Amino acid sequence: MSDSLNIAGKSYQSRLLVGTGKYQDFKQTRAAIDASGAEIVTVAIRRTNIGQTAGEPSLLDFLPPDQFTYLPNTAGCYSADDAVRTLRLARELLDGHTLVKLEVLGDPNTLYPNMIETIAAAKVLVKDGFDVMVYCSDDPIMAKQLEDIGCCAVMPLASLIGSGMGILNPWNLQIIIANANIPVLVDAGVGTASDAAIAMELGCQGVLMNTAIAAARDPIQMAGAMKKAVEAGREAYLAGRMAKKLYSASPSSPTTGLIS
């Protein structure tokens, strides 16, 4: 059975997308990503350290761009202009690569997205030929507008970045999913495997996470748990869950043939 995640014309077997930040070292980063089975990995774009980099290994040495699909992000950007500028640099850095994660933050404490700036940046980037996966609030109207602009995926937060609070508003997510004609992925807020499973059971096309894996006591084991959770949640969604009932008066064992 082929059940692939399709984003911007490319299909992926894994529905788990992972970040590459907050790990002990590159070796652990690679081991966790291998355990997660992720094919798409996010990276940040930052000023190169000048003067102390000779011979120093880089993230790209551990995650060769020909083995993974890079998803450069705009983490740390608070304006549309900065986000667009960052992703244009990323495109140059990655030899014309157009798949990107747009996030424009509104506040350094909550890291909640600034949707006005996000929408402004999305318009520029789509026009400029980028395939934009966009981190957004879980507001169904915003998600629809981002789709109408031409983003290739919307990625509403489950809860705040790095909070591990899980899915706080499954109802909004369901509305976004029901109205979307592009993939909806949960990005941010997943804390443990059950959160990822719930996101997938709701009908998300995928889940993007970083801290839930990197900040686990054993990141590599957690990466494996997330892989299974995303797969299980997806299968449960496809299988179609039974209806919830307060009680059913319908036991699973035969009601006849009882001894007397």
Partner 1 sequence: MQLTINGKARDFAVTQLTVAELVLQLSLEGKRLAIERNGEIVPRSQFANTLLAAGDQLEIVGAVGGG
C-alpha to C-alpha distance for 231 and 165, rounded to whole angstroms = 21
CB 222 within 8 Å of CB 212: yes
Q: Does 53 bind partner 1 (CB under 8 A)?
A: yes
Tell which one of 8, 31, 93, 236 touches partner 1 (CB under 8 A).
Answer: 93
* Residue 215 found at the interface with partner 1 (CB under 8 A): no
**Of the candidates 203, 241, 244, which has an alpha carbon nearest to the alpha carbon of residue 5?**
203
User: Looking at 8, 31, 94, 175, which residue binds partner 1 (CB under 8 A)?
Assistant: 94
Q: Report d(CA 211, CA 85) in Å as an integer.
A: 26
φ, ψ of residue 102 in degrees (nearest 5): -90, 125
Please work out the total of residues on this chain that contact partner 1, with binding judged by CB under 8 A.
Answer: 36
205 lines the binding site for partner 1 (CB under 8 A) = no
CB closer to partner 1, 149 vs 216: 216
In the bound state with partner 1, the residue whose beta carbon lies nearer, of 57 and 179, is 57
Tokens representing residue 203 in the block: 């009908």
Q: Is 101 a catalytic residue?
A: yes
User: What is the footprint of partner 1 within residues 60-89 (CB under 8 A)?
Assistant: 60, 70, 72-73, 75, 85, 88-89
Of 50, 77, 60, nearest to 20 (Cα)? Answer: 60
Looking at 23-31, 138-146, 177-185, 225-233, which segment touches partner 1 (CB under 8 A)?
23-31
Q: Contact between 130 and partner 1 (CB under 8 A)?
A: no
Secondary structure (H, E, C), 164-181: CCCCCCHHHHHHHHHHCC
Residue 31 C-beta: closest distance to partner 1, Å: 14
DSSP letter for each residue of 14-37: --EEE---S-SSHHHHHHHHHHHT
Q: Which is nearer to partner 1, 89 or 141 (CB)?
A: 89
Dihedral class, residue 101 (left if φ above 0, else alpha if ψ from -120 to 50, else beta): beta
Instruction: Verify binding: residue 161, partner 1, rule CB under 8 A.
Output: yes
Binding site for partner 1 (CB under 8 A): 19-23, 26, 29, 42-48, 50-51, 53-54, 58-60, 70, 72-73, 75, 85, 88-90, 92-94, 161, 209-211
- Report the catalytic residues: 101
